Structure formats: C-alpha cells, structure tokens
Amino acid sequence: MMRSFILMIGLSLLIVGCQPMPDVEALNQNLIVQTDYDASVSFNDYTTYTLTLDTLGLISNNSKDTLQLGPYAKDITAKIKANMDARGYIYVDKNQNPDLGFVAFIVNDFKVYQTISYPSYGGGYYSSYYGYYYPRVNTYASNSAALILELVDLNKKTSQNQFKLIWTCYIGDIVSSVDPFQKSVEAVDQAFVQSSIIGR
C-alpha cells in the first residue's frame, strides 16, 4: 500500500515539475511594442529628418556583420518613412542638415536585462543600455532578437558627446514570432500609433 502511495507522490511531483505554460504559438502571435519619449522635448519644433533606407543596423553575438540588408530592412525602413511623412516631417538626406535622425537596428543574441512596466501590475524600469538613460524593454533570453527604433535630436548632444535620444521603441521578439516579417511591419505602425506625441 505504501508503495502505491509513493508512486502517486512520484507522479504528482512529476506533474508539479511540469508547470503548465501558455501555448508557444499563442505566445508568439504578437510582438511586444514598447515606446518611450523625452517629455522635455517638443516634437513640433522639428521639421526634417533623415533615415538610412533599405538598411538596418545589426548588433549580434552570432555575426560580425553590422548591417542587415534585404527585403526585411527595406520594408521596415519604408514603413518608418511612411509614418514619419504622415506625421508631417520632411525626409532629407544626411548632408542636408536634418533636425532628427531615425535609427533602426536589430539586436540579436545580445544579453541585456529585460522588464516591462504598465499600470496596475507594477513593474519597474531599468536601463544602462548604450549609455542612454531611457527606460525600455530588454531581455536576457539568448535566442531572441529585437528591433530597436530610435529618434535622436541631431542638433543637441549629451555630455557624453552623443546625440540626444528623444524617442525609443523596442519591438520583440522577432526570432520566435510566427510571422516576423509581417508582424514587424505591423509593429512599426503600432509604435507610431501609441506615440501620438510624434508629429508636427
């Protein structure tokens, strides 16, 4: 009898060991889009911006490449440009003294701290990422990748001699997404939808 009971305990512990988790496909159905901006900046004051079209930056532990080219980069940058144009900013070339620089890059297999914050459930901020001081979502997961979008004020520099970051966006995880291409493009739109502050 005791043997049967021990067997039951063993089976139960096995169940405990396998804590039910959400379905992976359901989890990866949508990308997270997190944005933040500098409240001290008036986005109306900017007129022109520049953006490297058809190219994304790449930061990866798996690759020595620093650029991501191809259809993904082309569609993402096109979507960024469409949104910036729709918000009233004028696209100019880098040598035409633009007010804003739009930076888009992929961070792949790059271990950084991750958190999310929203009302009701608490949470917190953490960032020591690239010297910027804005809260954002990051991750420890080594097999993940994020698309990072940033707007910098090209007329102002920080005390570390970096252009001042005025808006940032984190989109992830583009590796585990069920449709990373289309979902990333949609996520760029969402980044602007939830950033009504951007516009003239």
Partner 1 sequence: MKYSLFIILFFGIVNQMHAQYFDKTYSVALDINVPVTNIDYVNKVSARGFKLGYREMINEKLFGGVDFTNSTYTRYIPRQTYTNSTNATTTDLFNYAYSYGLTLSFDYFFKTEQKFMPYAGLGVGASFMNYRQFFNAYSNQDENWGVLVRPQGGFLYKLKEDSRWAFLAGIHYDYSSAKSKDFGLDAFNNIGVQVGVIMLEW
Spatial contact of 178 and 25, defined as CB atoms under 8 Å apart? yes
Spatial contact of 79 and 185, defined as CB atoms under 8 Å apart? yes
Spatial contact of 9 and 165, defined as CB atoms under 8 Å apart? no
CB of 111 to partner 1, least distance (A): 13
Tokens of 158: 């920080």
**How many other CB atoms are found less than 10 A from the CB of residue 36?**
19
Tokens of 120: 């009701």
Which parts of this chain interact with partner 1 (CB under 8 A)?
1-2, 4-5, 8-9, 12, 15-16, 19-22, 26-39, 114-123, 125, 135, 137, 139, 141, 144, 172-173, 175-177, 190, 194-195
CB of 85 to partner 1, least distance (A): 22
CB of 93 to partner 1, least distance (A): 30
CB of 199 to partner 1, least distance (A): 15
What is the crossing angle of helices 180-193 and 71-86, to 10°?
A: 20
At position 118, the amino acid (one-letter code) is Y
Which residue, 95 or 196, is less far from partner 1 as judged by CB? 196
Which residue, 98 or 135, is less far from partner 1 as judged by CB? 135
Which residue, 97 or 142, is less far from partner 1 as judged by CB? 142
